[in-house]
Structure 1
Amino acid sequence: MDAHRWIESVEADGRELGRLCRERPDTTVRSCPDWTGADLLAHAAGFCRTLDGLFAGTREARDPAIVVPPSEALQTYDVDLAALLRLLRETDPGTRVVNWSVLEDDAAYWVRRAAHEFAIHRWDAATTGDGEPAPLPADLARDGIAEFFEAFVATAFAYGFMPPNEATLVVELTDLDETLREDLPRPGPTTTIRGTASDIVLAFWHRRAPTDFHVDGDRAILEAWPHI
């Protein structure tokens, strides 16, 4: 995926997240039951403002995210999202911007991260309603799976946040007719999961149970799937 597609996704999901959260500010987010719609909107606004500080060089990568009160976010979110979109569009992807992962410190990292942050949280916002949220687009979900391993899992292993395993996860994406293999972090016995790209990335982020997609091999890896 390229920066244009990521930014397009941020805009679409960011707007939908805002609409849903303002429609149901007091409703529990079923996928994140500690939050209401207003809390989720505040989290998204804080993400926008945190990136502004990182791009400006006034914040460090491991500084806590900016906290926005829910009552304030209900008033300012559209401004926060518009500012983020301008920032992502106007910054050269190669510009140095620090991040907390083992990946390159550049703006492109955050353009991609923003796309997946808003994609997952748009899905969360839709759980304030009664129906099933619309799935993530397949191309975005496939890239989200890659980002999960390249940024989050690799960093967790590099800094000792996750114990190393001699195990391999095989991911069969039914809607893309594609099979992925990820060592955790060393190759070993395989555990296979199968589902759409959207279902799998949501399972990695515990929006769905990882064990629901198990088809073969040791289930223990999925039963102990980390909260990263």
Structure 2
Amino acid sequence: MPRLPEVVRLQIASKHTTLILEVYIISICKSGGIKLCGVLAAAAIIAAHSAKLHSSDTKKYGVVTLIDCRSILQPPLSRLHYGFYHSAILNIHRVKGSENVWDLAMTCYMDFADSKKCNKHFPDMADLNFLMSKAIDNPSLTASSSLLTVFEDPVLDDSLQMQRKIGAEDYIGCASVHGVGPSLAIFDTIRDGRLDCTCVYPAPLHSRDQITELVQRMSRVLIDGVTLI
């Protein structure tokens, strides 16, 4: 059966978004580096693990972090320069189920950052583009994946006034290719102070009810992580 991309949204109120951002900004000051992508990856892993029948068993989870390479090209390109200039780093994490979201977020991000420091992403950009084009041409040959994809940096969107001016009630931003992709790809945006994530998944590999429950678990993990500190 052919796969089609479907979308579920994860939205966090501005007051909780502020707390989440403050926590990881404080972490930056203390530890030298953690970004929102690490927090989202950790929340998704914990949410997925808690939904398993034997959640006390150790499981492996793969996280692919996409990196916008425009700024590190020679000469560097603006983020407004159209085209696909992303590369990716894959990290595998072992989870027992007892991890704290912030400790796991630190692990997720630092593993990614260490790989990036070794320039593991840059030589793979051409290969990634080639493999993506082949996967687009042959979607039926793309293997099912249990990976999670996040972006290194969120999109900052302060266009509420423009949105109202043109009469748009709402909109989302994401990209997907039929038959290509992980179990869940998170397109994260800070929209007028609120965390707004477009979560894309392949159907019917996953059902809407399944992903909706996962996203709701992620939301609880994120909110509990900042309100129970």
Does 1 or 2 have the higher relative contact order (CA < 8 Å, sep 6+)? 2
Give the TM-score band, short-chain normalised: under 0.3
Give the TM-score taking structure 1 as reference length.
0.27
Q: Identify, as 1 or 2, the structure richer in strand.
A: 2
Q: Identify, as 1 or 2, the structure richer in helix.
A: 1
Give the TM-score taking structure 2 as reference length.
0.27
